[in-house]
Structure 1
Amino acid sequence: MRGALDGIRIIDVSRVLAGPFCSMILGDLGAEVIKIEHHETGDETRGWGPPFVNGESAYYLCANRNKRSLTLNLKSKQGKEIFHRLVSSGDIVVQNFKTGTLEKLDLGYQQLKATNPQLIMASITGFGLTGPYKGLPGYDYIIQALSGLMSITGEADGGPMKVGIAIADVLAGLYTCIGILTALHHREKTGEGQEIDISLMDCQVSSLVNVAGNFLCSGINPKRIGNRHPNIVPYQVFVAKDGEFVVAVGNDSQFRRFTAVLGKPELAEMEKFTHNDGRLRNQSELIPVIKELMKEKTKKEWKNLLDSAGIPNGPINTIAEMFEDPQIKERNMLVKMEHPKVENLKLVGSPLKLSGTPVTMRYPPPLFGEHTESILSGLGYSSEEIIQFKQNKVI
């Protein structure tokens, strides 16, 4: 079955996570993705481990399926010529070099546009193509700090904490996908390509949504509140008889049902707790009562009761427990692929469920340079030229 992006060729010169995550999503949707790697070292994440499985790092494997790997020395004259030939037959370039790097190699958007006027280039950098920080390297950890995210993450009486994943990279990858799909739609109507300027910093600031909104409306700097919600009560972690459990009561109707499940319906009748604004003001009185009641049953017992009452809830799963969850299995969020070196390769599935053009898992994450010769042959290079490229360290 053809994917929604079948016929779209992406030349991916990005490394690490944000760019590869973006191009993998587009590859899942049917696009052809050619992953260009440094001819000697490849994508840095190939060495990010342990864990490794038969020499392949788990970090690299997580973001590089549905791609073919071409090694290329972009500093060499012949390497640049090969890249231009690829661009002439391509639709999109995804890159995350520091601002100005490709321009110094004569491979920037304006230079490539001369080769392919309809080209779309998505440039992912730490701080964007403009501004006083444009030349600085941008790593997820630094972005989490500068964006304010760490200042609101963690317990109230503890220090600032980073999120447990490279969230700035993930968000940038998703925003880049949105930008690329938008640019493709625009090109379909006008025939015009364009450059997309994506900054990890911008994406992380955008993700602050209601927390930033609260500050902009009140002028009060948000503080760390741990697992509680700044605007909703009760909306936090409680300790059941056998472990930690989250309850998220989103409105007054849910609170009435929640108190009934707790066996304390009178709480919802008390004026100071009837409405959310009162619960927020008086949470120091309400929460200790709920905490004591939550200790009376197991996580499974609470889940059955709260699910029946329509109260959002759930145990705090480990990653192993999450993958055993029947919902995760039913939704195909764990997929298996054949791989030349990794037996029974398991990867996280795609959350995109399209009825007419479903995602497909066509290629496992490629070995380093696995498709170099076949891609170059497809561009019209002869076997003799490819041998010469190897001898000249072009590939």
Structure 2
Amino acid sequence: MPHIPASAALSRFRVIDLTQVRAGPTACRQLADWGADVIQVQMPEHMRGDDTLGGQDGSDYQYTHRNKRSATINLKEPQGIAALRRLIGTADVVVENFRPDVKHRLGIDYETLSREQPGLVYASISGFGQTGPLAQRPGFDQIAQGMGGLMSVTGTPGQGPMRVGLPIADLCAGIFCAQGIMVALLERESSGRGQWLHTSLLEAMVYMMDFQTARWLTEGDIPRQAGNYHPTSIPTGVYKTSDGHINIAVFGSKIWERFCHAMAAPEWISDPRYMDKAARSVNRDSLNAEIERRLAHNTSSHWIAVLNEIGVACGRINDMSQVFEEAQIQHLGMVHTVESPHFGTQRLVGQPVQLTRTPSTIARATPRRGEHSEEVLTELGYRADELASMKAQGVI
């Protein structure tokens, strides 16, 4: 079956996905979800290492590799490298996350490929960058969370560093890589030339520290752990009600005044301990205790309704089952269904950006390893007898 584009937006582009695990596959999924013909190139089944997310049948893998085709090519064989080079010759983009030296050893680095394809956009994702003292180190999401500063500001003060509950460095590196690829493709329309772009888990993590990096670089302030409370906007955080917990975010002086009235505490407006942002920062513990004392008199639903009515941001803290029970989530249509020939109907979260004219869909379920090998290579002009021979020799 030929390419089935998930959107018209990027359907004219072909992407060769040489990545594994999460960051690289995430980048390629972004492109596939917007219609690019993403061909995932993997080692044949008999040679594969532990390069999948919980196994090919796992939910993680199924979510990450939808809308792609899969071909197996043995890159340890000269005939396999030749087949890959032939495939790359039909592509606009190559994405890889080998260790920095591997692509040069295989002869599929940007310098080599771009001599024959000056319009090629070549994207690399690594743990720590393509050069430098740590370039050859293996990268892992939690290592980047720690080195990039995230774990130093996550968690409750005094209880040690804490990772966040998802692979944020991997995911952000993948999304930034996809963004870089689209920027390079857009620039190619004027210059006619491709280019090499690269990012890393560490760079993505440092960038995502955002205002925390600014606090240090411009003010010399080392951010610390603040638990469930916002480090600079007070009161903002998790608060206990009579039947659970809710998030409340109070931003700006007008909202603060409305919040004080809702808490039946108008005296806080003029109280020197709480009357401005600086004072509330110093006295955050006593203020938070006062807030929770008042919230304890009613339910989470009550306070969510009351506070949102007056413009104070407030919301539930959902587990995953409750997330998809939210009427707004259902209204936004974030859950898509796709028919898998291997697992039947699957429900997966789609893209969080809505393009009204060229929307993203999930047009194809995640393939088995090598499911489209013969299809893809036939498109390149390989004959049936050549494919049979390559298969017998373990090349595909």
Q: TM-score, normalised by structure 1?
A: 0.95
Q: Which residue of 1 aligns with 2:38?
A: 33
Q: State yes or no: 1:80 paired with 2:86.
A: no
Q: Which residue of 1 aligns with 2:3?
A: none
CA distance in structure 1 between the aligned counterparts of 2:78 and 2:95, rounded to whole angstroms: 21
Contact 1:37 1:43 in 2 (8 A): no
Deviations 1:198-228 (A, max 9, x none): 1110110111111111122332322111111
Q: Structure 2: which amino acid aligns with 1:13?
A: L
Decide which moves more: 214-223 or 23-32. Answer: 214-223
Q: What's the CA shift for 1:392?
A: 1.1
Q: Structure 2: which amino acid aligns with 1:146?
A: M
CA distance in structure 1 between the aligned counterparts of 2:283 and 2:61, rounded to whole angstroms: 48
**SS of corresponding position for 1:83:** helix
Q: Which residue of 1 aligns with 2:17?
A: 12
Alignment of 1:347-358 (within 5 A): 347-358=348-359
Q: Which residue of 1 aligns with 2:235?
A: 234
Contact 1:45 1:57 in 2 (8 A): no
Q: Structure 2: which amino acid aligns with 1:35?
A: Q
Q: What's the CA shift for 1:273?
A: 2.0
CA distance in structure 1 between the aligned counterparts of 2:263 and 2:69, rounded to whole angstroms: 55
CA distance in structure 2 between the aligned counterparts of 1:125 and 1:116, rounded to whole angstroms: 23
Q: What's the CA shift for 1:43?
A: 7.8
CA distance in structure 1 between the aligned counterparts of 2:172 and 2:67, rounded to whole angstroms: 20
Contact 2:350 2:361 in 1 (8 A): no
Q: Structure 2: which amino acid aligns with 1:160?
A: P
CA distance in structure 2 between the aligned counterparts of 1:363 and 1:350, rounded to whole angstroms: 14
Q: What's the CA shift for 1:114?
A: 2.4
Q: What's the CA shift for 1:42?
A: 4.9
CA distance in structure 2 between the aligned counterparts of 1:43 and 1:36, rounded to whole angstroms: 14
Q: Which residue of 2 aligns with 1:52?
A: none
Q: State yes or no: 1:159 paired with 2:165.
A: no
Contact 1:252 1:274 in 2 (8 A): no
Contact 2:22 2:53 in 1 (8 A): no
Contact 1:3 1:360 in 2 (8 A): no
Q: CA RMSD in A?
A: 1.5
**SS of corresponding position for 2:289:** helix
Q: State yes or no: 1:48 paired with 2:54.
A: yes
CA distance in structure 2 between the aligned counterparts of 1:207 and 1:253, rounded to whole angstroms: 30
Decide which moves more: 278-287 or 63-72. Answer: 278-287
Q: What's the CA shift for 1:136?
A: 0.8
Contact 1:45 1:60 in 2 (8 A): no
**SS of corresponding position for 1:181:** helix
Q: Which residue of 1 aligns with 2:307?
A: 306
Deviations 1:2-58 (A, max 9, x none): 521111000001011111111111111111100111112558454616xxxxx7111
**SS of corresponding position for 1:260:** helix
* Percent of residue pairs bearing the same amino acid type: 36
Q: What's the CA shift for 1:343?
A: 2.3
**SS of corresponding position for 2:274:** helix
Alignment of 1:132-171 (within 5 A): 132-171=133-172
CA distance in structure 1 between the aligned counterparts of 2:227 and 2:83, rounded to whole angstroms: 52
Decide which moves more: 341-350 or 367-376. Answer: 341-350
Q: Structure 2: which amino acid aligns with 1:226?
A: G
CA distance in structure 2 between the aligned counterparts of 1:269 and 1:220, rounded to whole angstroms: 29
Q: State yes or no: 1:251 paired with 2:255.
A: no
Contact 1:245 1:299 in 2 (8 A): yes
CA distance in structure 1 between the aligned counterparts of 2:49 and 2:17, rounded to whole angstroms: 11
Contact 2:7 2:34 in 1 (8 A): no
Q: Which residue of 1 aligns with 2:267?
A: 266
Structure 2 unaligned spans of 5+: 1-5
CA distance in structure 2 between the aligned counterparts of 1:115 and 1:187, rounded to whole angstroms: 16
**SS of corresponding position for 1:324:** coil
Deviations 1:341-390 (A, max 9, x none): 11221111210101121112211111111111111111110110110110
Q: Structure 1: which amino acid aligns with 2:213?
A: A
Contact 1:121 1:195 in 2 (8 A): yes
Count of aligned pairs: 390
Q: Which residue of 1 aligns with 2:198?
A: 197
Contact 1:48 1:59 in 2 (8 A): yes
Alignment of 1:115-134 (within 5 A): 115-134=116-135
CA distance in structure 2 between the aligned counterparts of 1:290 and 1:38, rounded to whole angstroms: 58
Q: State yes or no: 1:21 paired with 2:21.
A: no
